[in-house]
Amino acid sequence: MSGRTPARDEILGRVRSALAGVEPTHEPVLAPSAVHDPMPTHEQVVDLFAERVADYRAVVDRVAAADLPGHLAGLFAPTERVVVPPGLDGDLLAAVPTPVADAHPTGSGLTAADLDATDAVLTTATVGIAETGTIVLDHGPGQGRRALTLVPDRHVCVVRADQVVPDVPDAMAPLGGSIAAGRPLTWISGPSATSDIELTRVEGVHGPRTLHVVLVE
């Protein structure tokens, strides 16, 4: 249990005696970032992001901001049941023909079984990481509870070009803010995958089998 227990005191005691005489380091470790000469332009960083996301066999579309609603509207069939998280931008919401809202103020929105009966989910993201082709969701407005982007079979994720950073170290500051606010994070790099059977890569074991990233420039 939280609080002092014999186990807690004994373990901490063993740790202290094991480390008697060891000098602690109080300064956090700062890891190196890649140095490129010349440094890539933001445009090049965004290009790399698109390339690396596609590397994971995710679908990547690059669209101009003005074309976004029209483009999204073309992605969903009229009968497709698409989960929309609370706080999703009105423009995005308007592009979904058959939205399924998860809007209960108590948080007890769609059940897992409800989600299992949907076809897709549309969200935004918090950060895109170019080097690793990763999108990170902090599950704030427009991104929804974690289950929303897990159970449906297709995840369509809108990422703005200005959210794309070069590499993991550049993402730590913005994501640190989300963590400090108590939000969970989900780092997504391509659709789920396994290589457990004779090392043959199979996409889509438990998460969405299709990841569709719409990059808005």
Partner 1 sequence: MSRTFVGMPPFPSAAREALGDTQLRHNLAHATGVIRDKRARLVEEQGDLWEPLRLAGAAVKQRALDDLATHLEQLEASLTAAGATVHWARDAEEACRVVASVARSHGVDEVVKVKSMATAEIELNEHLEADGIAAWETDLAELIVQLGEDLPSHILVPAIHRNRAEIREIFLRRMAAVGRPAPVDLTDEPEVLAAAAREHLREKFLRAKVGVSGANFAVAETGTLVVVESEGNGRMCLTLPEVLVSVVGIEKVVPTFAELDPLLRLLPRSSTGERMNPYTSMWTGPAAPDGTADGPQEVHVVLLDNGRTRALADDTGRQALRCIRCSACLNVCPVYERTGGHAYGSVYPGPIGAILNPLLTGTGVDEQTDSLPYASTLCGACFEACPVRIDIPEVLVHLRSKVVDGHRGDRPPKAETVAMRAAGWAFADASRLGLVEKASGLSGRVLARLSRTTLPWGRPAAGRLPGPAAAWTGARDLPAPPAESFRGWWDRTDGGRAEGER
Residues 81-120 that bind partner 1 (CB under 8 A): 86, 105-108, 112-113, 116
Under rule CB under 8 A, which residues in 139-168 are in contact with partner 1?
139-140, 145-147, 150-151, 167-168
Q: Does 193 bind partner 1 (CB under 8 A)?
A: yes
Beta-sheet strand order (sheet of 210-216) = 59-63, 210-216, 154-160, 120-124, 82-84, 99-101
59-87 exposure pattern, b = at least 16 Cβ within 10 A, e = fewer: ebbebeeeebbebbeebbeeeebbbbbbe
Q: What span, in angstroms and rounded, lies between the C-alpha atoms of 160 and 178? A: 18
Q: Does 172 bind partner 1 (CB under 8 A)?
A: yes
**Cβ-based nearer residue to partner 1, 44 or 189:** 189
CB 169 within 8 A of CB 31: yes
* Closest distance to partner 1 from the beta carbon of 212 (Å): 15
Figure out which of the listed residues 122, 188, 214, 216 binds partner 1, where binding follows CB under 8 A. 188
Figure out which of the listed residues 5, 39, 51, 101 binds partner 1, where binding follows CB under 8 A. 5
First to last CA, the chain: 51
Q: Does 38 bind partner 1 (CB under 8 A)?
A: no
Contact region with partner 1 (CB under 8 A), list: 25-33, 41-49, 63-71, 74-82: 25-33
* Closest distance to partner 1 from the beta carbon of 161 (Å): 20
Q: Give the total residue count for the chain.
A: 217
